[in-house]
């Protein structure tokens, strides 16, 4: 049985809220998606990628206000 798009999105959102890491295809590669505010989820991405902690991960934000919660932004 095939899921409808909203059912799939709702299921993915619930899993992200639970701290799960989701694999998401893009036009060129597969990306790992997790809740950037969930330390366990972020730790899991570093573990999966075998990435050094000194190399930060990119995060997606919806607007400048949200970006300011996570980063210092210069006015230059």
How remote is the C-alpha of 68 from its chain's centroid?
17
pTM of the model: 0.78
Is 75 within the bounds of a domain? Answer: no
Domain count, the chain: 1
Is 23 within the bounds of a domain? Answer: yes
pLDDT digits (tens, 9 = 90+) for 36-70: 999 999 999 999 999 999 999 999 999 999 999 98
Is 51 within the bounds of a domain? Answer: yes
For residue 50, the enclosing domain spans 5-70
What tokens does 40 get? 């366990």
Is 27 within the bounds of a domain? Answer: yes
Is 76 within the bounds of a domain? Answer: no
Contacting residues for 42 by C-beta, under 8 A, at least 6 apart: 34, 36, 57
Is 39 within the bounds of a domain? Answer: yes
The percentage of the chain sitting over the pLDDT mark of 70, rounded to a whole number, equals: 97
- For residue 1, the model assigns a pLDDT of 62
């Amino acid at each position: 049985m095939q899921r409808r798009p909203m059912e799939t999105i709702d299921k993915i959102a619930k899993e992200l809220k639970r701290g799960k890491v989701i694999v998401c295809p893009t036009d060129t590669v597969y990306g790992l998606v997790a809740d950037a505010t969930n330390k366990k989820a972020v730790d899991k991405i570093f573990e999966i990628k075998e990435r050094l902690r000194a190399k930060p991960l990119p995060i997606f934000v919806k607007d400048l206000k949200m970006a300011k919660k996570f980063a210092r932004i210069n006015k230059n």
